[in-house]
Structure 1
Amino acid sequence: MWWLAVGLKVLIGMIFLSAGVSKAMRRSSLERMVRHHGIHNPLLVRLVSNGLLTAEITIGGILLIAWSRLGIRIGSAGAIALLLIFAALSLRLALLKRPFRCQCSPLLAGHTSGPAVALRNLGLAALTGMLFFLHLDESGIATWTIT
Structure 2
Amino acid sequence: MIVGYFTNQYPKVSHTFIRREILALEAAGVTVERWALRGWDADIADPADASERDRTRYILRRGPLPMLAAAMILLVTHPVRWMKGLWLSMRMMPKTDRSIPLHLISFVEAALLARQAMATGVRQLHAHFGTNAAEVAMVAATLAGIPYSPPYSPKVS
Decide which structure has greater helix share: 1
State TM-score, norm by structure 1. 0.31
Higher relative contact order (CA 8 A, sep 6+): 1
Q: Which structure has the greater CA radius of gyration?
A: 1
